[in-house]
Structure 1
Amino acid sequence: MSILLVTAKSKLSIGPALAFDNTDFIASDFTTGTPTYVLIGGTTNLGSAGDTSELITSNQIDAGRTRKAKGTRNAGSMAVICDIDIADAGQLALIAAEKSRESFSFMLEFNDAPSGGTPSIRYFSAFVMSTAEQYDEANSVMKLNATLEIDSNIVRVAAAAA
């Protein structure tokens, strides 16, 4: 019987600048030299991420048929929403990264570690395209909305037993 993987207690962290160099990353690209990852606190929505292939078409006259092929892959945009915390180091790092022209490394840890083991992790590189504040109505919590444009493959590391 499989166990449902829930988003609750997942952790998104931002790390150092890491540019995609046209070769898919592997896990060690994100961990070599023990880089510092800063937890982004107060997240309420982590959005979605994952590859989608571009559709290439050719309308062939003699066949009367549109031929199709798969093109380049795009890991998408990740919309991250946080309750604003003006002292949260991760939120401050996101805001600073938005001002930079560099892409940054990200680590998403799931809450699925076996007893004494390590959780599943997703690593990727992304540009922080926006960090907009959302204020809404009187009985609302102010939000920080960040858009991450993923600029690499997403490296999947499976949970491991102790």
Structure 2
Amino acid sequence: MGWLVTIHVLSAVLGIGPTYFGHVLLRKKQSREQLLESLKLFGLLNYFPKIGGSLAVVSGILLVLLSDWKFSELWIVGSLILYVLIQVVAVAMMGPVLKRLVQALGEDEDRERDPAAGSSSLLAQANRLYNTASIMGTILILLMIVKPI
């Protein structure tokens, strides 16, 4: 069982940890080129939560099945719900906003005007969604540590 806990903790740390760099990558007051580069790096960082997060969920479910814990325990139910909500915010909601942001930055280049005018509202929207996902992720980590009943 110890090896499964180790896999679960490592996959959670490696999967979730790098996502907090997104706050630096999606910062305001970047040039168009900097923001495009940041968005590329953001896309690369997303492999960590996809792989690590998936492995953390699978190992977490195995931990529940192989231990005395029950899926009806509040912290387990809350953790699973938070994980699903994070996926909804990060994938279903933020993904399209980031795609529109990249498109807007491309249009800004074609028009040769200030990129902030066309993309600042999309960047602000992406930041709000990212902050929401980060807060939920932090709560998820706290639930894993504290395990309230």
TM-score range, shorter chain: under 0.3
Which one has the bigger strand percentage? Answer: 1
Higher relative contact order (CA 8 A, sep 6+): 2
Q: TM-score, normalised on structure 1?
A: 0.26
